[in-house]
């Protein structure tokens, strides 16, 4: 029997934008049911990787591949990747005036499932998850992210993820700008969605998120590639020492080589 492919596999990924090369050979494998955290200093390319995974037009893959559940999706359009089960929770979610949260989710669920979804089905699921996430019932009729606070936007991202049931969820600095109470609510939502058939890639600057969502592996991105990987203890070490010591290790190893 052939081995089950990882849900997300990134091989020697090189990505460029208008300013030039950003990612310079990223290798990362996330198996089913696993939670991986991606950390690194500002400008390392963390958000670039998150955007490239979903096919953001600002980023161009110049070499390497991205595979979802065994299928090479490197050349797929963003909407096709999303329908196949790749989800991105944005660091700065866009507002869409005139489209209610309910309308947006109904259309997104229909696209993900490949069939029509009733308003009743959407509302039942939304009500359950909005209660879990501490969201007011009136939230359902508000225009998507229009006038939302930072915490409301992040809760809305988790709500979308819950209803769309992705295979791989990429959370790009979901903890950014959240107070401790909102962080716990968002983390509880993510933990409730964890199962053996779904994987998570958490992009974050800080170890505090990992107090609530425990990763199986932690990776450090610097100079456009992953320079170190380890368990949760690596995040604690980064919290204590910062990122400079990682860069020092990389330079020393390069000199020896």
Name all domains of the chain by residue range, CATH numbers in brackets: 8-93+165-256 (3.40.50.300)
- Between 68-72, 176-180, 199-203, the lowest mean confidence (pLDDT) is in 176-180
DSSP 93: P
pLDDT at residue 257, rounded to an integer: 42
H/E stretch holding 3: none
pLDDT at residue 254, rounded to an integer: 44
* pLDDT over threshold 80, residue 246: no
Q: What is the pLDDT of residues 16-51, one digit of tens each?
A: 998 899 999 999 999 999 999 999 988 889 999 999
Edge to edge, what strands does the sheet with 199-203 contain? 86-89, 168-172, 199-203, 35-39, 217-222, 225-230
Q: How many angstroms separate the CA atoms of 28 and 15, rounded?
A: 14
pTM of the entire predicted model: 0.90
- Between 75-79, 169-173, 178-182, 197-201, the lowest mean confidence (pLDDT) is in 178-182
Q: What is the pLDDT of residues 64-76, one digit of tens each?
A: 999 999 999 999 9
Question: Average pLDDT, stretch 201-230?
Answer: 92
Q: Smallest Cα–Cα separation from 189: which of 128, 126, 109, 129?
A: 129
Instruction: Please state, for a pLDDT cut of 70, what percent of the chain lies above it.
Output: 95
Contacts of 242 (CB under 8 A, 6+ apart): none
């Amino acid at each position: 029997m052939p081995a089950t492919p990882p849900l997300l596999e990134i091989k020697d990924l090189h990505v460029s934008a208008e300013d030039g090369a950003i990612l310079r050979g990223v290798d990362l494998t996330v198996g089913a049911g696993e939670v991986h955290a991606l950390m690194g200093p500002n400008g390392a390319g963390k958000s670039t990787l998150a955007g490239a995974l979903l096919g953001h037009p600002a980023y161009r893959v110049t070499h390497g591949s991205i595979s979802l559940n065994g299928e090479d999706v490197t050349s797929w359009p963003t909407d096709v990747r999303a329908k196949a089960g790749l989800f991105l929770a944005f660091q700065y979610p866009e507002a869409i005036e005139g489209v209610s949260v309910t309308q947006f989710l109904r259309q997104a669920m229909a696209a993900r499932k490949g069939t029509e979804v009733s308003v009743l089905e959407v509302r039942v699921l939304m009500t359950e998850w909005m209660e879990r996430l501490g969201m007011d019932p009136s939230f359902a009729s508000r225009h998507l992210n229009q006038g939302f606070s930072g915490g409301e936007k992040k809760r809305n991202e988790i709500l979308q993820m819950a209803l769309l049931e992705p295979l791989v969820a990429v959370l790009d600095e979901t903890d950014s700008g959240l107070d401790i109470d909102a962080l716990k609510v968002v983390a509880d939502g993510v933990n409730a969605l964890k199962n053996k058939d779904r994987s998570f890639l958490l992009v974050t600057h800080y170890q505090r998120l990992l107090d609530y969502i425990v990763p199986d592996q932690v990776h450090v991105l610097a100079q456009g590639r992953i320079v170190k990987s380890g368990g949760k203890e690596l995040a604690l070490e980064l919290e204590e020492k910062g990122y400079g010591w990682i860069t020092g290790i990389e330079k020393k190893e390069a000199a020896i080589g």
